[in-house]
Structures are given as structure tokens and as C-alpha cells.
Amino acid sequence: MSVISRLCGRLGLTNSSCSLNASKSTFRMEIRQFRTKRQKKSSPTLPEPENLIVRKDVGFSALKRPVMFTFAFTGCTVAGCAIWQYENMREAARRSRLPNFDFGFGRKAGDLREEFRQWWNKLPDNEKLFIPICALNCLVFLGWRIPALQGVMMKWFLASPSGVATCLPMLLSTFSHYSFVHLGMNMFCLHSLMGPAVNILGQEQFLAMYLTGGVFSSLASYVFKVGRSMPGVSLGASGAVLAVIGVFGTIMPDARFQIIFIPGFTFTADTAIKALICLDTAGLVAGWRMFDHAAHLAGVLYGIFWCHAGSRFLWDSRAPLVNAWHQFRTGSKRRDE
């Protein structure tokens, strides 16, 4: 006799009522188990990109396309930012000739859009540049939270020399963060240094340096991974942000830095650059894998290079391109003919 039958006998219940109660309890348990299985299926866990290891071994021949992409992207970025600077100067000159006359071209339909336009025009140049960069990083961060986009995110927003796509992820990965702490720290450092750097370089030259610095740091990461046969992926704006630190520390070496977690402890920007170079060099030699030390070291060195040579050889050589664009925009070449 089962335990349920004995209990029914003591309570004076019939077998039919006991069997009915037993069947109801069994049915309830089956429903609970079914709900638990459905809940487990409906909440898939997202993969950790930092722990994703690519097993495919590649040689130095895999670096041909990334190298060509890096130099082509650098040329196109410098050219695009130079044209952007020309258009900004052209618009400023037009407004200076008639400062009190409003053509009404900039007004937006609707009060909300007009208020946003006025708010945007009052922002300094560094804020106008930081907000779009931060917004792009936040959008990509949200993309990692959507399970349906995981295939796209891993293909295009993770940089690896053995990946399916190798060129475009060198740029897109600099806007990609999987961890909120990683995103927050990079954007905090970028915002802290962006004001002085933009005031010195101008927003157009700063953007050219920032984007090309991120791509060059990705290329350095590729070279190190292939040379040491260390498979893996990289993501994050750290390389580009460290390029900004390299520029800032080279131009203003006596500026004081402070770590927010250690109040009262300050050090110069020149000391920060030296410490970063030593730390990342030690990480490369020792084979530390917690950070992409090759990309970090390349970012700092690229910022120093931009101050000493890059700005002179790349940015200051934009005059022929700007003159050609000016002739195209104004049609002065046709009038001369």
C-alpha cells in the first residue's frame, strides 16, 4: 500500500478522492517543471567577447589587407576632416559678413527641434564632438545586449587577424564595448582630455587623429597576435583614447593628472605617458593577456608621433586638396577659362 493510500485510510477518505488529489498534485508538479523549462529556454546567456578565443592560426600574409586598409583609411580620414574644416570656415566667413542678418536657413520646423538646434549651437566644439562619439559607443554597447545581433556584433565589432572580416572591424571595434565599466572608464577619460586637446588641435584635426589612432592601434594588435601566435579578439576605444593621452601629455607635459579612486594623489602628464609605456611594454614581454597591451602601447606612441611628425606631414599637407576642393565648390576654375 502506498503512503498516499495509508494517509487516506487514516483520514477516512475513499481511494477515488485520494487518487484524484494525487493526480492533481502530480499535474501541478508537471506544470511547474514545464514553466521552469520554458523560462530557461527564453533567457539565453550572452557570450563574453573578451573570453572568445579564435583557434585559427594565421601567418603574416594575413596582414596585407589590414595594412593597406590602415593607410587608405588614414588618407581618406585626413582628407575628409580637411574638407570638413574648409566647410566650417566657409560657413563662419559667410556669417561674419552679415552677422545681424538671419537667412532662416538654420531654423527647424517645430518648437522642440528649434530649441534643440539652439542648445546644440551653444555647445563648445569639444562637446559637439564628444556627444556623437559617446552616443555611437553606447549604441554598440546596447547592440551586445540583443541576442539576435550576436552574429553581426562578433563579425564586425570584434577585431582579430583570424576573423571572417579583418579590415572594417579595425575601425568598428574602437566603438565596441561589452562591459559597462570598460565603456564608462573610456568615455570618462576621453571627456576629461577632450576639451584641452580640441582647443589646441581643433575639432577637425582631433577627429582625424582619434580615428586614425584607433585603427593604428588595431593594426599593432594584429601584428603582435600574428607574431606571437596568440589567438584572440580585441574591442574597445582604449587605443584611440590613449592616443589622445599621448597628444595631451606631449603638448602639456606639466599638466596634473589624478586618479579618481586615489584622492590627493596627483602626477604630471609626462609621468603618466612614461608609466603607460613601461606598463604596456612589460605586459608585452611577460605575455599578459588581461589587456591588449600592443594596442595600448601603439595608441600612446601614435599620439606622440602625431605631435612630432604626423601633424606636420599629414595634416599640414592638406593645402593642395583644400585648394582643389575650393575650386570645385566655387567654380573659380571655370571662370578663369
Give the catalytic positions in this structure. Answer: 238, 296
Radius of gyration of the chain (CA): 29
Cell of residue 55, nine digits: 583557434
Between CA 283 and CA 200 the distance in angstroms is: 32
- Count of beta carbons in the 10 Å neighbourhood of residue 52: 15
Cell of residue 245, nine digits: 593621452
Cα–Cα nearest to 177, from 135, 142, 219 = 142
3-state secondary structure string, 13-68? Answer: CCHHHHHHHHHHHHHHHHHHHHHHHHHHHCCCCCCCHHHCCCCCCCCHHHHHHHHH
Between vectors from CA 88 to CA 86 and to CA 90, what angle results, nearest 5°? 70
Q: Is 179 exposed, middle or buried (0-12, 13-18, 19+ CB in 10 A)?
A: middle
Cell of residue 313, nine digits: 606631414
Between CA 133 and CA 207 the distance in angstroms is: 10
What are the backbone angles phi and psi of residue 199, rounded to the nearest 5°? -65, -35
**49: number of CA atoms within 13 Å, CB side?**
27
Cell of residue 328, nine digits: 570645385
Do 303 and 241 form a contact (C-beta atoms < 8 A)? no
Residue 100 CA, chain-centre distance (Å), reads 41
Cell of residue 151, nine digits: 552574429
